[in-house]
Structure 1
Amino acid sequence: MLALSIAVSAVGAAVAVPLAAQGTGAAVASTAKAAFGSWGVDLGARDTAVRPGDDFERYVNGHWIDTTPIEADRPNAGTFYDLRENVQGQIKGIITQAPAGTQYGALYASFMDEARLETLGLKPLMADLAVVRAIKDKTAFARHMGGTMGRFGNSLIGFDVMPDTVDPTINVLGVGQSGLGLPERDYYLNPRFKPQLDAYTAYVERTLKAIGYADPAAGAKTILAFETQIAKRSWDIASRRDLDKLNNPMSSAELAAYAPGLDWGALFAGAHIAPQKRMIVGEKTAVRDLAALYGETPLATLKLWQMFHIANQASPYLNKAMVDSQFEYTKTLSGVQQIRPRWKRGVDLVNGSLGEMVGQTYVAKYFTPQAKAKMEVLVANLKLAMGDRIRANSWMSAPTKAAALDKLSRMDVMVGYPDKWRSYVGLKIVAGDLYGNVQRAGAFNAAYYMADLGQKVDRKKWAMSPQTVNAYNGGLENKIVFPAAILQPPFFDLNADDAVNYGAIGAVIGHEISHGFDDQGRKIDATGAVRDWWTAEDGKRFEAEAKAFGAQYAAFEVLPGVFINPDLTMGENIADFAGVQVALDAYRRSLNGQAAPALDGVSGDQRFFLAYAQVWRAKRREDALRNQVATDPHSPSRYRILGPLRNVEAWYTAFGVQPADKMFIAPEKRVKIW
């Protein structure tokens, strides 16, 4: 979809307020001890046998990498993932202390009642399968596909609600490709993913057997052949982040004429969507070709495909045999050795279904006013630093600079939690009815989001709950959001040295701000409208630097024969690069002209870069890495350290990097974007 809610995966103009004015001091936040080391960085994690300029990731994190195992139920390990685990434990406490009669207490209890799920077996699933079996024609099937929004089942076409690309104050319908079971089209088409494709095929066969299909092996071949045809018609993931390609306004009538083969009226009716005078079609040719594929595909194939996906999506909420069968397949995507404890899966369900309800308690218990106030100071300094970078930019003309500064000044910043909490009144959670609870919660939340269609855009609404360890740039809404859960060590620590906070959460803030000016954000103006507000000459100069930057990432070999896709990761790579530079400027600004003292023999700039690399301390299983490279616009953590820093002049100075060092790039070849 074209929502462009660009998120960190790890992670008007105001007067700059130095952190010292908040009682932090210029060097150490307080007399209390930081969570990592004495001032915010775990120096024991380093491998000091490695030169910083040869491999900065290993220099900062090498000992940790060598000595830290990946838990059997996790695809990765690292500071970011440890924080997620910690937050999950905090949420478990909130949920389990709630009375069973509350909505999230009842939902969690229904998930944890394994004995009842074993007794029920597949009985809860049968009514939904019977509905599909009873479908008589493709018009009825199209209506059924539309009705799967928020419920178990799949559709060749997905819907979303998004700000209009011309008038971003009004919400319109977004329409795009859908229909696959594997994570991305390459899993069907690239021989590299044959093990995952084989595991998926076997899983489809097991599922069809479980629901009583007469010839599950033949049925699995039919479904895989159909999904392979879907994959061939689908856009690749890099093309799906290009705003110029995704911005295709149409009316309902125009879409039906452009993409025959599918009864669009029935599909929209199933989703309770009235005919639209204007909507945005994302993957235009894919939508057309998928509609044609629908017209060519026998109804029996469509029904079999739908029954599998209903069972697949319902499996986590059924008996142990279905849960284990699904895990046997999904573990090939991540390389994990055992399924996560049930309580963690239950917490995820409650978080996904009742996010802001849980978030209210989470914020009251774990997010302090002091943290919010200090974050607002950090953000103010980062915005000022970004403004300085724009004004000093050598390749940007005066008109483009003025428009960029206008966009920056109008960028909303939201910290911790939304100003207004959403209501869950009307959502019925029934004790002992896990399957029904999940269906009702999905439908309730889908209706909540679809209710915005045709209404004014409410920029105060959040796309993440406060307990999410992440952050995002709202793209068409020109806002940046930092949930409470990410505002903890190692990203943010009230007791850490200022250089550490700027190198960690400061770089995340800078990252999110800069998304407004990356290869796609540059196509969105200060109001959120999609238009090219750069001069042609500015665009050419930017694209030349971006191309050179992308070439550096294209050379990174993540696994043998597996390289980073620079087109897919370009926006996130540029944001990482800009985030580091803007955060360093803001840190230096916060010193008010004073020199930062050395702590344990480590200078202020060194502490900044150490903190940045510490945030991205991570290791992943090979299958998880393959999945990330194929599906994620963020580069793997190692290259979020190496890629930006080898282009940052201050890093060379801070660590005395020399031409003989492996990360060294000649000054004239270092990219200069921001």
Structure 2
Amino acid sequence: MNRSLISAACCAMLLLASSSLSAQEAPVSGIDVKTLDPAVRPQDDFYGYVNGIWTRNTEIPADKSTWGTYIELRETAQGQLRALIDATLKNPGKAGSETHKIADLYTSFMDQKARDAAGFKPLRADLARVAAARDKQDLPALFAYLQRNGIQTPFSAGVSPDAQDTEQYTLNIGQSGLGLPDRDYYLKDDDAKLKAVRAQYLTHIATLLGMSGDQNAAAHAAQVLDLETRLAQAQWTRVQMRDPVKSYNRVAFDKFSELAPAFDWKAYFAAAGLAPKASSAVVRQPSFLGGFSTAVAEVPLEAWKSYLNWRIIESYASYLDSATVKQRFAFEGTVLRGVPQNEPQWQLALRFTDGAVSDAVGKLYVKMYLPPETKPRVMAMFNNFVASFKDGIDKLDWMGPETKKEAQAKLAALKPNIAYPDKWRDYSALKTRPHDLVANVRAARLWSRQRNIDKLGKPVDREEWSMTPQTVNASYNPLLNAITIPAAILQPPFFNVKAEDAVNYGLLGITFGHEISHAFDDSGSQYDARGRLRNWWTADDRAAFKARAAGLVKQYGAYSPVPGYYINGELTLGENIGDNSGLSLTYRAYQRSLNGKPSPVLDGLTGAQRLYIGFAQKWRAKLRPEAAIAQIKSDPHSPGEFRAKGTVMNQPEFYEAFDIKPGDPMYLPPEQRVIMW
């Protein structure tokens, strides 16, 4: 497959040229007709019909765990960012400027000679800090120090809007501390694949500890795995964590000793700089803290030291010498995700730089790659979706007027963040160096942590974005009741100004439909118009909602992307609601955009057919088996094939568009089809 990168100039020219399409120029369908498989009937396998040729002819690149439309667009965005970085390296500006910091960060990552010469030396001070611990009373200060440096500990501590009062920020304490993707990797002894990964993880820990100079690495690695297994046993499942009500437990600082008496919380809150900024926190998984406390009481200090040493080494392994990077990738990339080859260094450097100063990069990205007319057109599309959703609420036959009124209020208050934020983060306090990568990693982490903690005691900033403009993704934030659609997703193949609207609705519009629907999925629907965790439903309406949701849980729970591994219908419920309700909304919004006029037939396809084909092309993807298993265990998103296939089977208009009849494999009886909104 041709994966050549598009230059900055070419990208800009392509976008600007497409945006200047004459109103008289004949529209194009935008469908990638070359991937349609004439040997497959859409009635038999719609995903195979749309993507069969692509699937047969596409190999997953050696440095990727998955490949598909989303990843292709991310590669395009990476190429755009690389051109942007290259231009910045040639003209970094004055010392201390944002562009100079971008150059410092990227250069330090690419300076492999300096990294190889340093080896583990940049971590010696942190490892010595752990070694100096005299007893378990030193753990709270150690945890606080490591958290400030972005290093994982058994629990996380971060600041976000308070779900009970979204005008104020609150501290959240949640479970953490595992090195494998999910607790099942530690606890499922009846799963041979997961047991094998666990054994390889033990070897990996011992290898990296040994490379750091640990003379008793094998024994210390066993201590690490034993301790992480203890933590896994105490952790909530990912399904349990999706319940926002059970995950909201306000606890005063002086009451934490009742949840976890073996840990000195007063010392921790002081060392972490959280007291006196706050006097309480929301505990996400209270019972986990009990299990954590038991581990503090029962596990010897030396085992805790082994665990913390491992957390330090694992946290920085990607930024050290070549041998360490190679060993980390051998496990994290190959064992966990089945990827045989690491990504090129420039791509890793780019990801690090982008993550460290995302808004500084974002400003340059928007200036270089976003045509000014894109945002207004996309905003008009969004407004069409909101109007269609509003009509849909009024027409619901399972919801009463009282709940409908609340739903309409929430929809009216929904905030769209389109393309880029109105204000950017200030990086003036971040200090960078051109040839010291670990120092830059630490500086960026400290800056980010302090920025987060400094929010305590301040009113919530509702203008803050949770994604950057250069991110190929989208999101819904229930606490702010806001969706974010970044600039990078507003380009081909997801958005094509040359194409007739059907494909733009099927590829980009579904993103609007999906994210709007998240405001009303099983979790998002428990938050009101201001993002407060509040029950605004009547009992009968909530019962009707749950009954419909149970149908989606059952449907997706029957899909098996890897033999023996089934999608968790409860874990993926929110995303599946987003897909199914979102696609229904997309169809209605597209029909609304026609203003009563018939859609043209292009490439021999009706508008409805192009919309559904565009939707299925959006989700075309190939995954390595290891990556698919990790996704099934830890990701609330269903794999792409089932997002496409399962979703269309619930859409009444899909049956009409492709003449789906009883007996066809793509047919679901009407009583089994589920669309929540």
- Which position in structure 1 is the counterpart of 2:205? 204
Q: What amino acid is the match of 2:548?
A: E
- Which position in structure 2 is the counterpart of 1:65? 55
**Is contact 1:143–1:270 with CA below 8 Å preserved after alignment?**
yes
Q: What amino acid is the match of 1:249?
A: R
Runs of 4+ deviating beyond 6 Å = 31-34
**Cα-to-partner distance string for 1:211-254 (whole Å, 9 max, x where unaligned):** 22222111111111111111001111111111121011111112
**Is contact 2:103–2:434 with CA below 8 Å preserved after alignment?**
no
- Which position in structure 2 is the counterpart of 1:348? 351
What is the 5 A alignment of 1:487-498?
487-498=490-501
In structure 1, which of residues 455, 476, 479 is the aligned counterpart of residue 479 of structure 2? 476
1:318 aligns with 2:320: yes
Q: How far off its partner does 1:96 sit?
A: 2.1
**Cα-to-partner distance string for 1:272-324 (whole Å, 9 max, x where unaligned):** 11153332110111122212222222111111111111111111111011001
SS class of match (2:570) = helix
What is the 5 A alignment of 1:240-319?
240-275=241-276, 276-319=278-321
Which stretch shows the higher mean deviation, 271-280 or 177-186? 271-280
**Is contact 1:162–1:173 with CA below 8 Å preserved after alignment?**
yes
**Cα-to-partner distance string for 1:165-217 (whole Å, 9 max, x where unaligned):** 22111001011111111121111112341222122111100111112222211
1:440 aligns with 2:430: no
In structure 2, which of residues 101, 113, 116 is the aligned counterpart of residue 103 of structure 1? 101
Q: How far off its partner does 1:556 sit?
A: 0.5
Q: How far off its partner does 1:256 sit?
A: 2.3
- Which position in structure 2 is the counterpart of 1:537? 540
1:416 aligns with 2:406: no
Structure 2 CA distance for aligned equivalents of residues 286 and 251 of structure 1: 17
Structure 2 CA distance for aligned equivalents of residues 308 and 29 of structure 1: 60
Q: What amino acid is the match of 1:319?
A: D
**Is contact 2:150–2:449 with CA below 8 Å preserved after alignment?**
no
SS class of match (1:477) = coil
- RMSD between aligned alpha carbons? 1.6
Structure 2 CA distance for aligned equivalents of residues 261 and 296 of structure 1: 9
Structure 2 CA distance for aligned equivalents of residues 59 and 214 of structure 1: 58
Structure 1 CA distance for aligned equivalents of residues 22 and 293 of structure 2: 59
Structure 2 CA distance for aligned equivalents of residues 444 and 153 of structure 1: 14
- Which position in structure 2 is the counterpart of 1:634? 637
Q: What amino acid is the match of 2:664?
A: D
Structure 2 CA distance for aligned equivalents of residues 93 and 601 of structure 1: 39
Q: How far off its partner does 1:150 sit?
A: 4.2
Q: 1:29 to 1:558 in 2, by over 3 A?
A: farther
SS class of match (1:169) = strand
SS class of match (1:149) = helix
- Which position in structure 2 is the counterpart of 1:177? 175
Q: How far off its partner does 1:527 sit?
A: 1.3
Structure 2 CA distance for aligned equivalents of residues 251 and 490 of structure 1: 50
What is the 5 A alignment of 1:354-369?
354-369=357-372
SS class of match (1:130) = helix
Structure 1 CA distance for aligned equivalents of residues 146 and 299 of structure 2: 19
**Is contact 2:221–2:306 with CA below 8 Å preserved after alignment?**
no
- Which position in structure 2 is the counterpart of 1:118? 116
In structure 2, which of residues 456, 460, 465 is the aligned counterpart of residue 457 of structure 1? 460
Q: How far off its partner does 1:31 sit?
A: 6.9
Q: What amino acid is the match of 2:137?
A: T
**Is contact 1:417–1:466 with CA below 8 Å preserved after alignment?**
yes
Structure 1 CA distance for aligned equivalents of residues 149 and 648 of structure 2: 45
Structure 1 CA distance for aligned equivalents of residues 348 and 19 of structure 2: 39
1:83 aligns with 2:73: yes
Q: How far off its partner does 1:152 sit?
A: 5.1
1:596 aligns with 2:586: no
Structure 2 CA distance for aligned equivalents of residues 652 and 318 of structure 1: 55
SS class of match (1:97) = helix
Q: What amino acid is the match of 1:131?
A: R
Structure 2 CA distance for aligned equivalents of residues 31 and 506 of structure 1: 24
What is the 5 A alignment of 1:20-39?
38-39=28-29
1:646 aligns with 2:649: yes
Q: 1:565 to 1:31 in 2, by over 3 A?
A: farther
- Which position in structure 2 is the counterpart of 1:608? 611
Q: How far off its partner does 1:643 sit?
A: 1.3
SS class of match (1:557) = coil
Structure 1 CA distance for aligned equivalents of residues 351 and 441 of structure 2: 12
Q: How far off its partner does 1:32 sit?
A: 7.4
SS class of match (2:157) = strand
- Which position in structure 2 is the counterpart of 1:12? none
1:238 aligns with 2:239: yes
Q: What amino acid is the match of 1:656?
A: D
**Cα-to-partner distance string for 1:538-594 (whole Å, 9 max, x where unaligned):** 011110110011101011011111000011000000000011011110110011111
**Is contact 2:114–2:436 with CA below 8 Å preserved after alignment?**
no
Aligned residues: 647
Structure 1 CA distance for aligned equivalents of residues 493 and 579 of structure 2: 17
**Is contact 2:150–2:446 with CA below 8 Å preserved after alignment?**
no
- Which position in structure 1 is the counterpart of 2:15? none
**Is contact 2:29–2:603 with CA below 8 Å preserved after alignment?**
no
Q: Which runs of 5 or more residues in structure 2 are unaligned?
A: 1-17
What is the 5 A alignment of 1:382-397?
382-397=385-400
Q: 1:24 to 1:485 in 2, by over 3 A?
A: closer
Structure 1 CA distance for aligned equivalents of residues 19 and 226 of structure 2: 62
Q: How far off its partner does 1:97 sit?
A: 1.7
Q: What amino acid is the match of 1:158?
A: S
Q: What amino acid is the match of 2:207?
A: R
Which stretch shows the higher mean deviation, 136-145 or 328-337? 136-145
Q: What amino acid is the match of 2:256?
A: L
**Is contact 1:262–1:292 with CA below 8 Å preserved after alignment?**
no
**Is contact 2:577–2:675 with CA below 8 Å preserved after alignment?**
no
1:186 aligns with 2:188: no
Q: 1:432 to 1:33 in 2, by over 3 A?
A: farther
Q: TM-score, normalised by structure 1?
A: 0.94
Q: What amino acid is the match of 1:588?
A: Q
